[in-house]
């Protein structure tokens, strides 16, 4: 399967270098192709979004609220950025009052903390989600009657966005989404490293 996808991707990108075919459309509908997956149609609902490279191979943007999808990606990215930092840090640092439950392998940390501690984390994350969205936490109602920009909670404690132009803010948003995507891959790699080798990261 991977091989087929790789070959298809190569054919897709090779055709970008082929000589121009005297105005002949490459598809019957003359539809625009995706920038990141050149053999698929461009998902038009992702056009113009910050960080969009036309990547939506299973057409989620046709079937779900695009703002909800954007916010999911941004939040997952933020959580993953914190997670990668925490996953590494916890091997070396622990709070003095929790020194007795310290484990080197971060995968074992949830068990060391125990079920009630983990439930508290889930509960507070849920309560915060509820609070910031004023109780509207489903895909159908989160953005239905709000013009909130996905990922924007007015959180800027250090005033980093003050006085910035829209272009500068968009640049920071692009950096955030790209760092978030990288972190989502990274935390998956770290967790599986520990599973497979059965030992701590470093």
Contacts with ligand NAG, residue ranges (CB under 6 A)? 41, 58-59
Say whether 71 counts as a known binding-site residue. Answer: no
CB-CB neighbours of 87 under 10 Å: 20
Q: Residue 76 CB, nearest distance to ligand NAG (Å)?
A: 22
Closest approach of ligand NAG to the CB of residue 31, in Å: 8
Cβ 39 to ligand NAG, closest distance in Å? 11
* Cα–Cα dist 158/178, whole Å: 21
- Could you give the CA distance from residue 135 to residue 128 in angstroms, rounded to a whole number? 10
59 labeled part of a ligand binding site = no
| Residue 181 annotated as lining a ligand binding site | yes
Q: Are 75 and 151 in contact (CB under 8 A)?
A: yes
Alpha carbon separation from 171 to 38, 44, 161, 174, 177 (Å, rounded): 25, 22, 11, 5, 10
Q: Which is nearer to ligand NAG, 41 or 66 (CB)?
A: 41
With CB atoms as reference, the residue minimizing the distance to ligand NAG is 59
Q: Residues at the annotated binding site for chlorophyll a?
A: 73, 76, 175, 179, 181
Q: Residues at the annotated binding site for chlorophyll b?
A: 61, 78, 176
């Amino acid at each position: 399967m991977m091989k087929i996808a790789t070959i298809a991707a190569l054919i897709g990108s090779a055709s970008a270098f082929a000589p121009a075919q005297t105005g002949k459309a490459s598809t019957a509908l003359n539809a625009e192709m995706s920038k990141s997956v050149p053999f698929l149609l461009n998902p038009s609902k992702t056009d113009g979004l910050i960080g969009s490279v036309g990547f939506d191979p299973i057409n989620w943007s046709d079937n779900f609220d695009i703002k909800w999808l954007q916010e999911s990606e941004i939040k997952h990215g933020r959580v993953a950025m914190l997670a990668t930092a925490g996953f590494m840090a916890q091997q070396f640092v622990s709070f003095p009052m929790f020194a007795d439950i310290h484990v080197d392998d971060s995968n074992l940390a949830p068990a060391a903390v125990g079920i009630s501690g983990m439930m508290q984390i889930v509960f507070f994350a849920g309560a915060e989600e509820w609070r910031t969205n004023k109780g509207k936490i489903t895909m159908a109602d989160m953005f239905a009657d709000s013009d909130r920009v996905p990922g924007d909670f007015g959180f800027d404690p250090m005033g980093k966005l003050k006085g910035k132009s829209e272009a500068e803010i968009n640049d920071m948003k692009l950096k955030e989404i790209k760092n978030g995507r990288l972190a989502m891959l990274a935390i998956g790699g770290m967790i599986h490293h520990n599973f497979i080798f059965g030992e701590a990261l470093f």
